[in-house]
A = this chain, B = another copy of it.
Amino acid sequence: MRRRDIRAVILAGGRGTRFWPLGRTARPKQFLHITGRDPMLLETVRRVLPLVPARRITLVADAGQTRRARKLLPRLPKGSFLVEPEARNTAPALLLATARVWLENTEAVVVVLPADHIIRDTAKFLRRLESGVEAAARENAIVTFGIPPAYPATGYGYVRHDRGAGRMISGTVFYPARGFKEKPGPAQAAEYVASGEHAWNSGMFVWRAGVFAEKLERFAPELAPAWTAIVAALRSGSTAKLRSAFRLAPARSIDYALMEKAEGVVMADGDFGWSDVGAWSTLAGIWPRDGAGNTFRGDTLALDARDCFVWNPGRLTALVGVHGLIVVDAGDALLICDAAHDQKVKDVVEALKKMKKYKRYI
């Protein structure tokens, strides 16, 4: 295999409210020490290093998140941090990052990775990614990874794909993608999972810079003006021009803006122990549990407590006769949540936003 020019683009920004009160709007989960390992952003960078050297890694985020990311990754060169003029979802961010690569080398292969996922089998992840790079390099394809659905999730988008038409490339089977589906309702999700031909959209992509530009032009012409303007702005080096160019791109996800329209998208199974750590109860499942199903971070005394997750370092927590609770103490704010209702944590943040006196907690 000849030496490829591989670039990793890590989507390091974004807002997060599901891990409130530990996570705050400006401190989303990829920056938190919640998995028992390093923050997910740091792990994401570290994970890809065997395939992509540090100088070819770009972290895209707005100015605030970039400051935070630089603090977390002080050894990455300054050029690794690409500041979005503003946070506008993934399509503008990926136009910007890919345009920068394209200006250097249209044949370079861009690997897009969200920064807020856990991957348990790094070796397999790297093998899959390497195959994806080969597939993207050799064919005019956009590669994505679909997570084999563990249950009929309504919280993820799905990638429909044709399992009868798989082709082996560099050790991995790639299936033609037949469409990107928005988050379904429960019945739809059940159908998807039963079909065997729908996988969770992981938000990981691989494309050649030149192919990305071509796909934009053919399948998402409404993005073309933004692309052209961003390329021109990058060439000029003008921050002001970049800011206006960036605003030409619709504030949408790349899935919606490009993927669901493009032809020539292929999908490989993301069978490498992926989790997007979507809520506190997911996290509870990552930590080891005691005999009663409890996970405690911080001194905790449990009397007749089961299946509880307590995050309260530095203080004592006593649980008496309770079960299935998520307890998170962030110093200034305390969450006590039924584990089955942890999706509503984001509603807490929404409710706080409406109350002026609680603004400091969001």
A199 contacts chain B at the CB level, 8 A cutoff:
no
Least Cβ–Cβ distance between A230 and chain B, in angstroms: 41
Least Cβ–Cβ distance between A119 and chain B, in angstroms: 29
A142 contacts chain B at the CB level, 8 A cutoff:
no
Is there contact, CB below 8 Å, between A320 and B303? no
Is there contact, CB below 8 Å, between A348 and B318? yes
Give the distance in Å from the alpha carbon of A340 to the alpha carbon of B322 in the complex: 10
Contact among B304, B312, B316, B317 for A344, CB-based, below 8 A:
B304
On chain B, the residues within 8 Å of A332 by CB distance are 315-316
Number of copies: 2
A347 contacts chain B at the CB level, 8 A cutoff:
yes
Is there contact, CB below 8 Å, between B317 and A336? yes
On chain B, the residues within 8 Å of A336 by CB distance are 317-320, 322, 325, 327, 336
**What mask results when residues 284 to 326 of chain A are scored 1 for a CB within 8 Å of chain B, else 0?**
0000000000000001010110000000100111111110010
**What mask results when residues 325 to 361 of chain A are scored 1 for a CB within 8 Å of chain B, else 0?**
1010101111111101110110110011000011001
Is there contact, CB below 8 Å, between A338 and B320? yes
A176 contacts chain B at the CB level, 8 A cutoff:
no
A28 contacts chain B at the CB level, 8 A cutoff:
no
Is there contact, CB below 8 Å, between A342 and B358? no
A13 contacts chain B at the CB level, 8 A cutoff:
no
A sample of 10 inter-chain contacts (CB < 8 A) reads A301-B351, A303-B347, A315-B333, A316-B332, A316-B333, A316-B358, A318-B336, A319-B336, A325-B336, A334-B334
- A residues with a Cβ closer than 8 A to B are 20-21, 299, 301, 303-304, 312, 315-322, 325, 327, 329, 331-338, 340-342, 344-345, 347-348, 351-352, 357-358, 361
